[in-house]
């Protein structure tokens, strides 16, 4: 799979006193895209026991996913408007017990990029509070959401 482009409808109260979309609000937009990405149906993969329309969120079952690290680079001011803005999101790294979700808050066609960011997500056991190694099935599910988009870290 390639990245998922999630349309976000801005709300009037997303603006700050300067009239642009607040930096914290942009992190909320990233959160919305993260939830949608991990809840996206994934194609059937019999080699890893993945039935049709499984989502990563469903596959973790009783385990929890928590944000361990988050970062954002603000590229351009975004002002309130009625037309949606998009968050392009994808899995950019799969580790032992964590994975990284990357984001680009942008126009649908990519002509303007307002912010870019990443979240490191750790899978953990809710009873022990300790991280849990990702299973091969989990890694396969995440790999189907992976893309190799390069973020522009220049400011």
Please report which confidence band the pLDDT of residue 48 belongs to, taking 50, 70 and 90 as the band edges: low
133 Cβ neighbours under 8 A, 6+ residues apart: 96, 97
DSSP state of 144: T
**Burial label, 69 (beta-carbon count in 10 A; 0-12, 13-18, 19+):** exposed
Residue linked to tokens 């893309």: 147
pTM exceeds 0.75? yes
Maximum distance among all Cα pairs of the chain, rounded to whole angstroms: 53
pLDDT of residue 112: 95
Q: Over the stretch 137-152, which tens digit does the pLDDT of each residue have? A: 888 888 888 887 776 7
Q: Over the stretch 92-124, which tens digit does the pLDDT of each residue have? A: 999 999 999 999 999 999 999 999 999 999 999
pLDDT of residue 153: 57
What is the arithmetic mean of pLDDT over 30-52? 81
Nearest to 104 by CA among 37, 150, 56, 35: 150
pLDDT of residue 143: 86
d(CA 120, CA 100): 4
| Greater pLDDT, 51 or 41 | 41
Whether 151 and 104 have beta carbons less than 8 Å apart is answered as: yes
């Amino acid at each position: 799979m390639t990245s998922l482009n999630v349309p976000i409808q801005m709300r009037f109260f997303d603006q700050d006193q300067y009239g642009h979309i607040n930096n914290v609000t942009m992190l909320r937009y990233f959160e919305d895209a993260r939830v949608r990405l991990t809840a996206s149906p994934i194609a059937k993969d019999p080699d890893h026991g993945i039935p049709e329309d499984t989502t990563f969120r469903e596959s973790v079952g009783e385990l929890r996913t928590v944000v361990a690290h988050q970062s954002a680079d603000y590229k351009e001011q975004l002002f309130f408007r009625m037309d949606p803005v998009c968050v392009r999101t994808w899995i950019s790294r799969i580790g032992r017990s964590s994975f990284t979700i990357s984001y680009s808050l942008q126009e649908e066609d990519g002509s303007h990029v307002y912010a870019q960011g990443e979240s490191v997500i750790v899978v953990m056991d809710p009873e022990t509070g300790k991280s849990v190694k990702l299973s091969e099935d989990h890694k396969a599910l995440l790999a189907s959401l992976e893309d190799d988009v390069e973020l522009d870290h220049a400011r």
